[in-house]
C-alpha cells in the first residue's frame, strides 16, 4: 500500500480517531484544529504540523472532519482555505454531514482548482473512528476514489460507492441521520412511557431488544438511560444540527417529514432544558419531565 501525505482538519471525537488511524497505517499526517490542546495531543501521538499552505502543497489527501457544512466550506475556501494551495489531482475527502446541494457546490469549487472531491460522510462513532473501522457513504468520480484509496483503506472498514459525483453520499447520510435521530427520540419516548406504566426500565431493554420494536439506537442508547449515565458519546446538540440539515434538505424538496420534525422538537426541548452537551439519550429526560416521573439514577 502506498504511503500518502494527509492533512486532517478537525481533531474532535471523530477526526482524532481518523487522524490516528491514518498515522497507524504509516501515512504522514498533518493535523489541524482550532483547539491547541487537540493539536498538541495529536503531535504527541506522532502527528505533524505545518502551515495550511505547506500542508496543502504537500498533501495527496485532505480529510475534513469538522462539525458542519459552514466549517467545511471555511476549511476548504475560507481566509485560510487549503484548496487554493493543493496540487492538481490531489483530493478532498469531506466527512461532515452536510446538504447534498452544498456537497455538489463544494465539488464544483474544488474542480476549478483541478482538485478532486469525494462526498464521503462517515458513520460509526468515535470508537470505530479510533479503530480505522468507519463506514463511509461516498460518491464521486473514479479518479477521486483512486486518489484517496490508501487513506480510505486506513480509516474505513466499509466504503459504499454510491455514485460518480458529489451528492448521493450526503443524501444517504441524511437518510441515516433521519432514522437514527427518530429512533433515539423513539427510544426515549417508549422507555419513559413504559416506566410511566410501572414497568422496570432494565426489563424493557431486555425484552424489547428481542422483539420487533428494537432498533440499533434502542439497543445502543437505552442502556444509558437505565444506568443513568449521560456521558456524551454523541451529544443532544448533534441532533439539532443533523435533523436540522435533514429538514432543510426535505423542505427544499417539498418533502414532508413529520417524524423527523417531531424528533427534532424533542431534542430542541432537551437543549432548552440545558441538556445540549449531555449524551443524546438525555432526550428521555424531556419525556420524564413532561410526565412528572423519575428516570433511573446513576449507580
User: What are the residue numbers of the active site?
Assistant: 173
**How many residues can be counted in the chain?**
299
Contacts for 44 with CB less than 8 Å, ≥ 6 apart:
none
Whole-number Cα distances in Å, 69 to 44, 179, 279? 29, 20, 22
- Cell numbers 462539525 correspond to 67
Distance in Å, CB of 254 to its own copies, minimum: 6
- Count CB-CB contacts under 10 A for residue 164: 13
290 binds its own copies (CB under 8 A): yes
171 binds its own copies (CB under 8 A): yes
Q: From edge to edge, which strands make up the β-sheet containing 91-94?
A: 28-32, 5-9, 61-64, 91-94, 116-119
Binding mask 195-234 for its own copies (x = CB under 8 A): -xxxx---xx-xxx-xxxxxxxxx-x--------------
240 binds its own copies (CB under 8 A): no
77 binds its own copies (CB under 8 A): no
**Residues 101-160 interacting with its own copies (rule: CB under 8 A):** 123-125, 135, 137, 158, 160
Binding mask 245-264 for its own copies (x = CB under 8 A): -x--xx--xxxxxxxxxxx-
Q: What b-and-e string marks burial along 214-241, b requiring 16 or more CB atoms within 10 Å of the CB?
A: bbebbebbbebbbbeebebbbbbbbbbb
Distance in Å, CB of 243 to its own copies, minimum: 12
Nearer residue to its own copies within complex by CB, 31 or 167: 167
Residues of this chain that interact with its own copies (CB under 8 A) are 100, 123-125, 135, 137, 158, 160, 162, 167-168, 171-172, 174-180, 182-183, 185-187, 189-194, 196-199, 203-204, 206-208, 210-218, 220, 246, 249-250, 253-263, 265-266, 287, 290-292
Amino acid at each position: 500500500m502506498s504511503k500518502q501525505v494527509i492533512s486532517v482538519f478537525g481533531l474532535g471525537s471523530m477526526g482524532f480517531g481518523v487522524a490516528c488511524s491514518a498515522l497507524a497505517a504509516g501515512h504522514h499526517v498533518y493535523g489541524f484544529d482550532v483547539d491547541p490542546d487537540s493539536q498538541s495531543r495529536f503531535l504527541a501521538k506522532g502527528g505533524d504540523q505545518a502551515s495550511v499552505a505547506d500542508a496543502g502543497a504537500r498533501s495527496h489527501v485532505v480529510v475534513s472532519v469538522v462539525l458542519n457544512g459552514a466549517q467545511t466550506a471555511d476549511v476548504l475556501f475560507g481566509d485560510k482555505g487549503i484548496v487554493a494551495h493543493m496540487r492538481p489531482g490531489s483530493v478532498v475527502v469531506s466527512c461532515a454531514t452536510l446538504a447534498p446541494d452544498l456537497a455538489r457546490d463544494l465539488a464544483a469549487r474544488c474542480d476549478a482548482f483541478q482538485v478532486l472531491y469525494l462526498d464521503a460522510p462517515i458513520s460509526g462513532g468515535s470508537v470505530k473512528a479510533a479503530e480505522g473501522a468507519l463506514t463511509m457513504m461516498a460518491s464521486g468520480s473514479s479518479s477521486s476514489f483512486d486518489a484517496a484509496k490508501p487513506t480510505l483503506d486506513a480509516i474505513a472498514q466499509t466504503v459504499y460507492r454510491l455514485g460518480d459525483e458529489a451528492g448521493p453520499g450526503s443524501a444517504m447520510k441524511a437518510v441515516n441521520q433521519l432514522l437514527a435521530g427518530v429512533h433515539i427520540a423513539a427510544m426515549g419516548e417508549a422507555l419513559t412511557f413504559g416506566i410511566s406504566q410501572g414497568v422496570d426500565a432494565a426489563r424493557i431493554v431486555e425484552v424489547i431488544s428481542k422483539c420487533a420494536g428494537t432498533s440499533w439506537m434502542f439497543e445502543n442508547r437505552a442502556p444509558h438511560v437505565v444506568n443513568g449515565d449521560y456521558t456524551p458519546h454523541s451529544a443532544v446538540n448533534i441532533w439539532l444540527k443533523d435533523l436540522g440539515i435533514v429538514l432543510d434538505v426535505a423542505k427544499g424538496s417539498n418533502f414532508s417529514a413529520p417524524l423527523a420534525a417531531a424528533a427534532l422538537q424533542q431534542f430542541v426541548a432537551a437543549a432548552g432544558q440545558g441538556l445540549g452537551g449531555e449524551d443524546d439519550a438525555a432526550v428521555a429526560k424531556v419525556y420524564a419531565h413532561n410526565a412528572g416521573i423519575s428516570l433511573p439514577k446513576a449507580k
